[in-house]
């Protein structure tokens, strides 16, 4: 299943994609939280959606939002989780996180819920007074079942699905504050979408390929198998001390090719177009304003 939230003629809807159409399963005010309710409801709720057979509308008529427009809490994120990106970031002069080039344990930070926007929404680079906005295409994991003290062997049983995230970052604010929350949690700095693909539809996530294009130019290309800390390790690490809840989102890190990897750095500017694509998860496109 490919789960979406969106609007049709200004009315919020939620449902799932089937070919070039969307099967509408919720409408009105409740639709903005329908995907969270679906995830929390488990297999029974998902089976109900599949059997519901609501009205069908062309996908082209739906203005897609982030599939979870209002996450229940901040987005969990992982820093320096591809070897080549860890090297480029460490050498950039902006890495205030640690002395290690390759982290010995996952680096975890969060992005505010108010940073979340959907496909086609504008990333407000102008909100960054330092004009050092960068892109980071990432695969994100959506938790499906409450998890505390989960082992790596059990971890994938707690995954509902996967979604594309762009971990937009102010590099100077990230460096200036010696932590990453302020530089990465700015309003509009977490584009997400176009849909959540359920775990059964995706299959083996390590086989997925991620690409990022800026103004049509390929900047990032990697397979998820290149992660330093894989998805089971990330879930195990977080759940050792934090209860993960249905609908929680974990962005797994970005590969090499970000703007600060260039000499001089190539930052985003108003009018730029970003496109992050992952196999089977569609493409997340956002303009910069």
Domains of the chain: 2-64 (no CATH), 75-287 (3.90.850.10)
* pLDDT attached to residue 97: 62
Residue with tokens 């309003």: 187
Structure tokens at 232: 């089971």
Structure tokens at 287: 């303009």
What is the model's pTM?
0.95
* pLDDT attached to residue 84: 77
Residue 122 CB-density burial (10 A; 0-12 exposed, 13-18 middle, 19+ buried):
middle
* pLDDT attached to residue 96: 65
* pLDDT attached to residue 204: 98
Instruction: Compute CA distances 236 → 33, 108, 146, 154, 155, whole Å.
Output: 27, 13, 12, 9, 7
Assign 3-class secondary structure to 85-121. HHHHHHHCCCCCCCCCCCCCCCEEEEECHHHEECCCC
Three-class SS state of 77: strand
Q: What residue ranges of the chain have pLDDT lower than 70?
A: 96-99
| Cα–Cα distance, 121 to 104 (Å, whole number) | 36
């Amino acid at each position: 299943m490919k789960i979406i939230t969106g609007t049709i003629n200004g009315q919020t809807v939620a449902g799932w994609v089937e070919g070039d159409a969307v099967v509408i399963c919720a409408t009105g005010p409740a639709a903005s939280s329908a995907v969270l309710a679906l995830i929390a409801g488990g297999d029974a709720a998902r089976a109900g959606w599949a059997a519901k057979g609501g009205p069908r509308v062309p996908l082209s008529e739906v203005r897609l939002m982030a599939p979870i427009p209002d996450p229940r809490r901040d987005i969990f994120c992982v820093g320096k989780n591809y070897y080549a990106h860890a090297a480029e970031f460490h050498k950039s002069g902006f890495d205030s996180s640690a002395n290690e080039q390759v982290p010995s344990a996952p680096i975890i930070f969060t992005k505010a819920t108010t940073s979340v926007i959907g496909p086609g929404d504008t990333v407000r680079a102008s909100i960054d007074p330092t004009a050092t906005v960068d892109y980071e295409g990432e695969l994100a994991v959506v938790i499906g079942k409450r998890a505390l003290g989960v082992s790596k062997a059990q971890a994938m049983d707690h995954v509902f699905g996967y979604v594309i995230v762009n971990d937009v970052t102010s590099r100077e604010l990230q460096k200036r504050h010696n932590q990453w929350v302020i530089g990465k949690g700015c309003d509009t700095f977490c584009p997400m979408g176009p849909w959540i693909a359920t775990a059964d539809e995706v299959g083996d996530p390590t086989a997925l390929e991620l690409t990022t294009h800026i103004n049509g130019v390929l900047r990032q290309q990697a397979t998820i198998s290149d992660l330093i800390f894989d998805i089971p390790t990330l879930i195990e690490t977080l759940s050792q001390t934090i209860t993960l809840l249905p609908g929680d989102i974990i962005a797994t890190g970005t590969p090499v090719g970000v703007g600060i990897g260039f000499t001089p750095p190539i930052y985003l500017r108003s009018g730029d177009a970003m496109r992050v694509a992952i196999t089977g998860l569609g493409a997340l496109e956002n303009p910069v304003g």
